Amino acid sequence: MAPINPIRVTERAQKLASEAIKAGDFAIDATAGKGRDTAFLAQAVGPGGHVHAFDIQAEALRSTNNLLEAAGLLERTTLHHRSHAEILAAIPVAHHGKVAVALFNLGYLPGGNLAIITQPATTAQALQAALKLLRPSGRLVCVAYTGHPGGSDESDSVLAFALQCEQAGDTVEKIGYFPNPGKPWILVVTKKSA
């Protein structure tokens, strides 16, 4: 399997996410950052759908808010200024088990404070929680980076989660994964049907 071009990785992740979304769906952006993924998901769910986006940095949520406002997508999104490790508590119970897609783009905010990065333990917690929120045949897409300090440990925790999903009967793809390549890769988990 060939490594993925890092510039294309986010587009690829968006495409993989969109394959599992239809108009009117609920979706989660677990790492809002500059808001590009949130806007993409908000576009994909349409006016009858809803996106919950999370980030721990106010700066990231400001960028996301501005992008959504400019695109006319603000009304179909809820921005949560809290860790994605808390998504089970943050998402209304009525949406549990009904989420079509959860998208993670790990690492740091581009152009922001490089010391604020996603962490293996909270990422693992968030991945588990997101899987619970998905509907049957819903999809979790996670872009993991191995080139920055701490990235390799986090990638290992994503890999451990992938193994658990495989053992539970979910469909797992590890696109572009090589042990220790310094390149991003994409985990795609399609939850087993009920």
Q: What does the binding site for ligand SAM look like in residue numbers (CB under 6 A)?
A: 31-37, 54-57, 60, 83-85, 105, 107-109, 116, 118, 122
Q: How far is the CB of 3 from ligand SAM (least distance, A)?
A: 18
User: Is the CB of 74 or the CB of 137 nearer to ligand SAM?
Assistant: 74
For tokens 């860790």, what's the residue? 83
Q: How far is the CB of 189 from ligand SAM (least distance, A)?
A: 18
User: Is the CB of 20 or the CB of 39 nearer to ligand SAM?
Assistant: 39
Two tokens, residue 73: 């997508």
Q: How far is the CB of 32 from ligand SAM (least distance, A)?
A: 6
Q: How far is the CB of 94 from ligand SAM (least distance, A)?
A: 22
- Residue among 111, 10, 101 at smallest CA distance from 57: 111
Sheet containing 134-144, strands listed edge to edge, beginning at the edge strand earlier in sequence: 77-80, 50-54, 26-29, 99-105, 134-144, 185-190, 171-175
Strand 185-190 and strand 134-144: pairing?
antiparallel
CA angle 148/116/33 to nearest 5° reads: 95
**What phi and psi, each to the nearest 5 degrees, are found at residue 116?**
-95, 100
User: Is the CB of 65 or the CB of 137 nearer to ligand SAM?
Assistant: 65
Q: How far is the CB of 165 from ligand SAM (least distance, A)?
A: 20
Residue whose CB is nearest to ligand SAM in the complex, by number: 33
User: Is the CB of 77 or the CB of 192 nearer to ligand SAM?
Assistant: 77
